Every structure is written in structure tokens, then in C-alpha cells.
Chains A and B, each alone.
Chain A
């Protein structure tokens, strides 16, 4: 039971502040929204919202505290980014190098659309005979199924 008590004692300290904060509903709801946008610095890929780590809990309390002081969400995120580094932003900034991550997929998609559009619109050079037409669909499928 000793380790359980030790863990409980630690958790109690957190619970005292977290518990008090949890009663304040308007702050808490906004806190979860902010916590979702911030990565927990000690976890792999989890947000402060989802993480059960000690540091994430402290950060949640910190967010509530700042909210109660009247800070707006963006200011709190900036404050956290300054304190823990830009790396904690779940959403990469849409400026500078961070813009690259947002642009990348669209460049890929645009190139892909270009290729597909070229393939489906280019004129066939004379109609080639087709050896499969709609009537033979099931048979082709069955033959292929043998491999499965």
C-alpha cells in the first residue's frame, strides 16, 4: 500500500488545484479547446488534452489559471510556445517553414490532378479492340479469385 499512498499524495496536490478548477465550468470548457492545440512536451505525439502525464496536467491547470486572469486563448498558446518551445504547437504555424507542411499535400494533389486529367482526356489514337466487355465481368472476376 505504501507506493499507492505515495502516488496518491502526489496526485492529491494536483487534485486540490485541479478539483477547484474543475468546478469552474466556463473556464474548463475553454481550457480543453486550448489543450487540444498544444502538444505535451514529454509525450510522443499526444496533446495536452489527451495526455495523462504529470506535466500535461500541470499545463492544463496553468491554462485554466491564465484564463481566469483574463488572457485570451491565442495569448495563452503564445505564452506556452514561448515557455516550452515552438515544437509544442500541435498545429504548425502557417508561416515560414511551418507553411511547408500545409502546402506539401496540395502541391502533390495538384500534380496528381494534372496527371489524371491528362490521362483521361487525351484522345485515343484509334479505337483499340477491347478483349473484355461488360458481359464477361463475372467470369474474369472468378478466374482472378482463384489466386485469393
Chain B
């Protein structure tokens, strides 16, 4: 009789077999020009996706039915865990997250293969072969190195459960999003390899890959933002981003893909940066794999633990081969990767994109360097050297501010030609806004020069974006005699790539405002209070009412009831507590008390550090974090922009997918 572990193992083996078949079939089809073989391989990618789905379903069912004869289930879940949380334990450990990773890759590979097939693109078999190569490696790891279907000699009565820090709804959203983001970079990589292998490195692969890169980038963005939100609301250390290795390696592929999304525009329109774009697509993939696994395998904790990891050496070898192979391919195709034309002015739009890429690449490189440095110092000195937040703040902070400036400058520049009087006039309003912001802030009493500068930069860029929108709307209105509302809607939707991008930029500006506010003006204090006592932190009166104890068989909680007010204004009540889970006594989980005040937009963030059950006294860590809520609002705006950029064209003109590049420009017809 087959149990779930058997079904899972068989499904994984089947998926692996199909992936290897599809890989072999693709190569045979390429070598002997056999279209029937290619077609069979294409169908196998679909079957592999189906088999991988069965495997992950088997694991999910094992978790839901509490099958503690499977080691992975017993180690990562317990009967005390609610259903939704139990399901998220699928990616709660290495073996499960590797299966989840492979499953997403199998689905994406099949989708990408069938889609590129329909487009009739010449390099489709190469795309399929590359995808299947990567899928085979990861399914091979699931099958042979770290299987989630390993069985225990006897079923346990109950599992150990998931670390209580992960007992949060954020756990159901953040890791699967981030993992899916990492995986998605495989598809652009496959297209890049396809383009290099066939030598068709022009616009068609850039166009075909755009949606896939956008998907990977959006998933990675969502994973990062949810991660920050989760860290802030749940992990309880007062911040949302700490530049720790796990965060850094997630940020790097985002930076690289952001660079790609900008530089691809230059290739699409001007036929330049071909070498750079291919390299970015490949680099995003390699860095994403490095991010997912090298960090998890413990290499950054110590070089020595790396050797003990089952999958570390295999992945390292795989990455080495990918890197070397890609470099060889690029060198082989170097003559084809030359730009069709050259930059004509240092202040043109395309040069602006180049500067944007320079800054993004430098942030990525600095982050990579800082993350890997402890390892380098361990090799050379035998002792690890920590690289913490101060390094990243000092190095990346100015670079990121430079990027915000460019988001304001870029849209005002003209393609091809340098800054003429006409272009320079567009800078008047944004610059005036920047000056106004700085004067206002200083008048209001802000004396931190760097913060004033940073806020002014945000003002400049926000004004520039609004100015560009205004120009588009007024331009449309004048030419069509439309109402303001129609003109606004049409302007946004007609040019949704550009204007959606500006909305994303606006989201970034808002996030920057929140980061600047909370970085420069956060106030922190620990206060020991008896019931009924109060203290003042950052202008807020924090009064501690009492402690409330409660408990059940699996969980004990203590909560401090705290009231906050400012200048005797309306009072808010919040609870800051600790939860102690049975079996995890050494790791009490914080229950953060947060209240966002209006109209100042300060977050009053309260943590319960210590308490005394005898006297009922408590030590509270109180942090007043200005403007953090603006970060989350900026995140919403950001994704609003992503929706506009990615939405299928409602007002789209009918054009052939790879039609003539120099088609006569016709005004778009409404509703066509």
C-alpha cells in the first residue's frame, strides 16, 4: 500500500525523469534538427510540472493529516498548530522549501516553454533546454540529497512544531513570495542563454522576456516589502530593515533586475547596451540562486559549516559551471553584442539610464561585497569580521539618494539630444519644490542637514513626476478637447509602461521619505515603570496601566497595557507582550504594541522587555519611529504602479507581436 511518502518520492522521481528527458530531447532536437523531438520535449515540460505538483500536494496532505512518520513533517509541525500555519510549514525547512522551489520552477518552465513556443521565436528550444537543465539539478537535489519525504523508523505521536517566531500570518505570505521571486529569475536567464546560443541578441528576446523579468522583479519586490513589514510588526527589534545577510541577498537580485528593467528600455529603443542586458539577466539568476541557498546552507555563518551542508557543494559547482559557461558564450558572441549606435549626448535620456544602472550596480556590488566580506576575512585572517548596518548606511545611503535624484531627472531629459533650453525649463518647478521643502523644514526647526537635503531630494523627484503627469494630461486635453478626467485616465493608460513606471517611482519616493524620517529622527528609551506610573519618550507620555497574564496548555502570555498621549491629546491604548510557547521556553516571542499617531504620523512602538510578577512592574522599550507608516503606504503605491505597468492593454492598438520596428506612428484609437 502506498503511503504519502511513497507517492511523494515517486512523483519527484517522475518529475526528475521527465525534466531530464526534456533536456535530452531538446539537445537531440537541436543537434539533429528534429522538430518532432522538440515537440515531445515540450510536452514533457508540462508533464514534469504536473508530477511536481503531485509531489508538493503529497507533502501538503502529509502536513494536514499530521503524518508524523515523515521526518520533515514531524520536525516542522505539531498538533498544536492551526491549519493555515501547518500548510506554511511546507516551506518552513530546507527540504520543503527546496521542493517548493522546484515546483514553482517546474510550473514556470512549462508556462514559459509553451508561451515561447506559441510566439514562434527561433531560440525556443534553447530556452526550454536551459530551463530543464536548471530544473533537473534542483529536482535531483530533492530526490537524492535532501528529500522532504524521508521516513522515520516509527511515527511519532506529535511533531516538534515550527519555531514560534514563524507563527504569524506573515509566514504564509513572505517566504513563498520571496522564494517564488528567486525562482522566477530562471526564465529571463533561459531567454538570455537562448539569445546568446542562437546569436539573436537584438530586440526580440528583450521583448519576449520583458513580462517574465517584470514578474520576477514584482515578486521579489513583494517578498522584500512583506519581509520588512513582518520584521517590523512581529520580530520586535524596532526596525524594518537591518542589512543582515538574508535580507541583503534578497535585495541584490532586486537591484540587478531593476537595473535590467531600465537598461532594457535603452536596447529596445536605441539598440545599445546589448552586452550589459544579457549580463544582467544572467547575473540576476546566479545571484538569486546564491541568495536562496548559499545563505541557507550556512556558508555565511562559517566556511566550515558549508562543507557539512548536503547541497552546498553541488550548488557551488553548478553555479560555477553556469558562470563559466555564460562567460564563454558571451565572449563567443561578442561581435554580435556591439551597439547599433553610440551615445550622442551625456545629458540625454539614454545616458540617464546608464547613470541609473551605474548606481544600481554599485549598490548591488557594495551589498554583495559587504555580505561576503566576513567570509573573506575568515579565509585570510581566520577570524570573521562583522559588517553591519553602519557600513551599508554610509555606503549605500548616498547612492540610493542619488538614484532618487535620477528618478526625478531622467523623465525630464530628452532622448538622443542633450539638455537644451527647452529641457532645462522643465527643471524649474521640481527645483523650486526642492528649495521650498528645505526652507519649510528649516523654518519648522529641522536642524539635521542631511535629513533636510534628503527630504528636498524627495520633493524634487515627486514634483518632477507630477510635472510629467501634468504635461501628459494637459497635452492630451489640448489635442483632443477632452475633459480633465478623461485626459487623466487616457494619459495614464495610453502610455502605461512609462506612466506606470512613474507611479512606481512615486512609491519609491514615499518609501524613501519614511526611511529618512525613521532613520534620522527615531527616539528610543527603556523605562521601568510600576503600575500606574508614566514616562515621557520623544514627546509622548507613556503610561503603564498593568500587566495581564493569561495562558493555555500550549501557550502562556503576559501583556502590558499601555496608554500613550501627546500634550494631553486623545489617548491610544496598546498592548505589548510576550508569548511563551510550550517546548520553546528559551525563545519568548514579542508581541509588539504599535500605534500610528495622527497627524504627526509617528509610530509609537512598545516592547515588553522585562516584568516582575510580584510587583506587577514592567520594563518597556519604547521607540518613537516617525513616518514608518509612509513606507507601507509607499509600498501600496508601488504595487499600484506595477499593476499599471503589467496590465494588459485595454486601449491597445492591434500590432503584430514582432512586427516592423519602424511602423508609421498612428494615434491610438479609443476602444480599439
Contact = CB atoms under 8 A, between A and B. Distances in A.
A92 B652 contact: no
A80 interface: no
B385 A7 contact: no
Nearest to B362: A109
Interface residue SS majority, chain A: helix
B419 interface: no
B208 to A, nearest CB: 7
Contact of A145 (B369, B607, B652, B663): B652
Nearest to A31: B526
Given A44-B244, A147-B210, A139 B666 contact: yes
Contacts of B346: 120-121
B391 A102 contact: yes
Contacts of A90: 386-391
Interface residue SS majority, chain B: mixed
B619 A22 contact: yes
A30 B553 CA distance: 42
Interface in A8-58: 8, 11-12, 14-15, 18-19, 22-23, 28-29, 32, 36-37, 39, 44-47, 50-52, 57
A47 B389 contact: yes
B244 A141 contact: no
Nearest to A11: B610
B528 A3 contact: no
Contacts of B246: 44-45
B611 A11 contact: yes
A14 B610 CA distance: 8
Nearest to B365: A108
A19 B610 contact: yes
Range, interface on chain B = 35 or more
A70 interface: no
Contacts of B527: 22
Contacts of B210: 144, 147-148
Contacts of A8: 558, 611-613
Interface string B575-596: 0000010100100101000000
Contacts of B209: 147
Contacts of B395: 102, 105
Nearest to A134: B415
B242 A50 contact: yes
B416 A146 contact: no
B497 A145 contact: yes
Contacts of B387: 90, 92, 101
Contacts of B170: none
Contact of A18 (B365, B619, B653): B619
B390 A146 contact: no
A148 B528 contact: no
Contacts of B211: 147-148
A11 B210 CA distance: 55
B123 to A, nearest CB: 16
Contacts of B497: 141-142, 144-145, 148
Contacts of A132: 269-270, 415, 662
Interface residues of A, number: 76
B311 to A, nearest CB: 20
B496 interface: yes
Given A116-B358, A132-B269, A142-B649, A5 B528 contact: no
B390 A148 contact: no
B361 interface: yes
Interface stretch (B9-17, B376-384, B425-433): B376-384
Contact of B498 (A7, A37, A88, A141): A141
B653 A139 contact: yes
Nearest to B613: A8
A22 B526 contact: yes
B614 to A, nearest CB: 8
A32 to B, nearest CB: 6
Contacts of A71: none
A134 B368 CA distance: 38
Contacts of B645: 145, 148
A120 B354 contact: yes
A83 interface: no
B180 to A, nearest CB: 18
Given A39-B388, A46-B237, A125 B301 contact: no
A120 B661 CA distance: 25
Contacts of B214: 148
B369 A101 contact: yes
Contacts of B524: 32
B269 A101 contact: no
A119 B526 CA distance: 54
23 contacts: A6-B585, A12-B610, A19-B610, A37-B390, A45-B243, A45-B245, A46-B237, A46-B242, A50-B237, A57-B609, A97-B385, A100-B373, A105-B369, A119-B342, A120-B354, A128-B341, A130-B270, A130-B416, A132-B270, A132-B662, A134-B415, A141-B497, A146-B652
Given A87-B383, A120-B346, A139-B663, 11 more contacts: A4-B613, A15-B611, A23-B528, A44-B244, A45-B246, A47-B389, A92-B387, A109-B358, A128-B340, A132-B415, A142-B668
Interface of B: 207-211, 214, 236-239, 242-246, 268-270, 301, 340-346, 351, 354-355, 358, 361-362, 365-366, 369-370, 373-374, 376-377, 380-381, 383-391, 395, 399, 414-416, 494-498, 524-528, 549, 551, 556, 558, 580, 582, 585, 588, 590, 607, 609-613, 617, 619, 645-649, 652-653, 655, 657, 659, 661-663, 665-666, 668
Closest 6 CB pairs of A and B: A90-B388, A45-B244, A105-B366, A15-B610, A19-B528, A50-B237
